A = this chain, B = another copy of it.
Amino acid sequence: MPQYTPPLRDMQFVLHELLNVVDEFKMIPAHAEVDADTINAVLEEGGKFASEVIAPINLSGDSEGCALDRSTHEVTPPKGFREAYATYVEGGWPALSCDTAYGGQGLPHTLNQFFYEMLNSANQAWTMYPGLSHGAYEALHAHGTPEQKAVYLPKLTSGEWTGTMCLTEPHCGTDLGLLRTKAEPQADGTYALTGQKIFISAGEHNLAANIVHLVLARLPDAPAGSKGISLFLVPKFKVAADGSIGERNGIFCSGLEHKMGIHANSTCQMTLEGAVGTLVGEPNKGLAAMFVMMNTARLGVGNQSLGLTEVAYQNAVAYAKDRIQMRSLSGPKAPDKPADPIIVHPDVRKMLLTARAYAEGARALQAYTVLQLDKALGSDDEDERKACEAEVALLTPIIKAFFTDNGWIATSHCMQVFGGHGYIHEWGMEQFVRDARINMIYEGTNTIQSLDLLGRKVLHNNGATLKAFGKKIIDFVEEEGVNEAMQEFVNPLADIGDKVTKLTQELGMKAFGNPDEVGAAAVDYLRVVGHLCFSYFFARMAKIALEKQASGDPFYKAKLATARFYFAKLLPETAGLIRSCRAGLAPLMEMDEALF
């Protein structure tokens, strides 16, 4: 069974040495008192919960899956999941970054994101039960009525209840404008919802006393398409104004999906038969309200793949040090053994270092992004709030798509390190690969992310947001331009920065001629910009490591080695991506549809 050790040292490096979060938090009134000891203590305790409580039930949960009782419509998650959730609630973990007005601890999202990385490493399927609640919490917090907030937010904050996002229907996922679920207004101001939803994560389970479904549906007079969608709050059990639970509502699980992975999470087909709901936000503005959940969720999905990359890496390293097989091509390295440990082989190291670099790059970029989110939500400077918000919007699709594509590559590499054993369930490595695969699909496929990045976030304002982020990179390059030791990092960083600038301009011109050029280029483009971000953070981390390596702490030596590996072996991928990107639309459209 896989093991998991929370990467506390690297997290602390990112928080305290790379980002100086304590100083940054001082500029955010609500977090001004958050100190390093608090941060470190939360990470340490959170790491214990992840590694001791939910990691041990990850493999068994995958084997066992969820069970639906068709007579009662109740779903039973795998053994140990309910108990683990109770422990989670007792520990106060759901409240970590929630509003103190509703019983939350009000800690920064940055901290919660690190906590979730550990949960995802330990058990992605389990983590989705509480994880979906965050989206419901955010949407209600932003768009709920005072009554909805008063009743529901304390329960979501405490974890007594969980939440879901009910968007997808059999015929529509990406294109929610096509959805058909209907909401009929009732005399008492509520709505009666009828329809069929699919792929509802944590849609039904017995972990919590109630489930708060946020459901997209159409009002009778709604305009066609995405401008006629409204958001409704539909609880599993009806709830009185005092928060007490009443009778069962007409929303129930009509089937469980049989999936490639995340077997232990109940992915439900949900049937609504006159389910009573209340409106969240304005009529026909449901999609905008839902996007509050979606953006949080997209950062969360990137974090899932970061978590899987880290845990797959740790286990592949342990195996590569232990497993002996063949001799090093340059002569025996463990002459006392019948063969060398496979970590001596260069390609085994390449697979391991790929996972390591993707994890460390992601950890830095994500922490930076969520710190900007904390500023966007809490700074008392409006200009800063806006600038941070724009940067988070820019980086969110990169975190979602680049991290999850990398997670697929990394978990597959780590599985490969195990040879044939990697393909066998009991080792747990193939589960990481299967679990990682959904992250490229849900909360907007990675193609959708790339269109969001290139179309909406970059070209929409003529690259202004990208330029603002790029300015930070240019400043760093200029600062380090005279630093001899940093040349190996800033030169490739400057180079990829120039290439992104040029490529963006070219694509802007092309898109002007034919909007489909955006669709042709977007996926390659996102990956190139992802590498620009990683190059920037690896260069910044290398600077710190160079300054501190004389301390003798081997952590800095390892950080430098990882950064050098990244620039030498992973960044070069951009050379091919840029060429493919430049090849444009024509090679994709030449084939007549009938000839496929």
| A175 partner, pick from B325, B572, B596, beta carbons under 8 A | B325
Whether A350 is near chain B, meaning CB under 8 Å from some CB there, is yes
Contacting pair A343 B596 (CB below 8 A):
yes
B260 touches A346 (CB 8 A): no
Cβ of A308 to closest chain B Cβ, rounded Å: 15
Q: A257-B424, A420-B442, A569-B587 are in contact. Are A346 and B557 (CB under 8 A)?
A: no
**Given the contacts A258-B424, A573-B576, A596 and B416 also touching, CB distance less than 8 Å:** no
Q: How far is the CA of A56 from the CA of B577 in the complex (A)?
A: 39
Contact (Cβ within 8 A) A339 B515: no
Q: Check A593/B343 contact, CB under 8 A, given A328-B516, A353-B588, A573-B580.
A: yes
Most chain B beta carbons < 10 A, residue from A198, A324, A426, A593:
A593
**Residue A247 at the chain B interface, CB threshold 8 Å:** no
Residue among A174, A320, A592 with max Cβ neighbours from chain B (10 Å): A174
Q: Roughly how many angstroms separate A352 CA and B442 CA in the complex, as a whole number?
A: 20
Say how far A353's CB is from chain B's closest CB, in angstroms: 7
Cβ of A259 < 8 Å from any Cβ of B? yes
Cross-chain contact B516 with A330 (CB below 8 angstroms)? yes
User: How many A residues, CB 8 Å from partner?
Assistant: 102
Is A101's CB within 8 Å of the partner chain B? no
Selected from B260, B408, B415, the residue in CB contact (under 8 A) with A423 is B260
Interface membership of chain A positions 567-596, coded 1 if the CB is closer than 8 angstroms to chain B and 0 otherwise: 011101111110110011111111111111
The verdict on A423 contacting B595 (CB below 8 Å), with A330-B516, A347-B447 known, is: no
**Residue A434 at the chain B interface, CB threshold 8 Å:** yes
Distance from A175 Cβ to chain B, minimum over Cβ atoms (Å):
4
Closest to A558 in B: B595
A565 is contacted by which of B175, B438, B590, B594 (Cβ under 8 Å)?
A: B590
Q: A347-B447, A519-B346 are in contact. Are A260 and B425 (CB under 8 A)?
A: yes
CB of A565 within 8 A of CB of B592, answer no
A419 CB-CB contact with B under 8 Å: yes
The residue among A168, A321, A519, A520 with the most chain B CB atoms within 10 A of its own CB is: A519
Give the most central of A347, A422, A557: most B CB within 10 Å.
Answer: A347
Closest CB in chain B relative to A259 CB, distance in Å: 5
A260's partner among B434, B445, B516 (CB-CB below 8 A) is B434
> Which of B178, B329, B514 is A518 in contact with, Cβ under 8 Å?
B329
Please name the residue on chain B nearest to A418 by beta carbon.
B441
Given contacts A329-B516, A330-B516, A516-B329, whether A416 and B445 have CB atoms under 8 Å apart is: yes
**B259, A330: Cβ atoms closer than 8 Å:** no
Given the interface pairs A257-B424, A412-B408, the reply to whether A557 lies near B592 with Cβ below 8 Å is yes
A32 at the interface (CB under 8 A from B): no
- Which of B330, B450, B595 lies in contact with A561, CB distance below 8 A? B595
Given contacts A575-B579, A590-B564, contact A419 B173 (CB under 8 A): yes
- Whether, in the assembled complex, A554 has its beta carbon less than 8 Å from a beta carbon of chain B, the answer is yes
Q: Can you name the residue of chain B whose Cβ is closest to the Cβ of A522?
A: B347
Contact, CB under 8 Å: A519 / B345: yes
A591 and B425 form a contact (CB under 8 A): no
Compute how far the CA of A251 lies from the CA of B389 in the bound complex, rounded to whole angstroms: 67
Chain A 117-133 residues near chain B, CB threshold 8 A: none
Partner of A438, one of B341, B423, B446: B423
5 nearest A-B pairs in the assembled complex, by CB-CB distance: A572-B579, A568-B587, A568-B583, A346-B519, A576-B576
Q: List 8 A-B contacts (CB under 8 A).
A: A178-B324, A321-B596, A345-B447, A416-B447, A422-B441, A570-B580, A573-B576, A575-B579
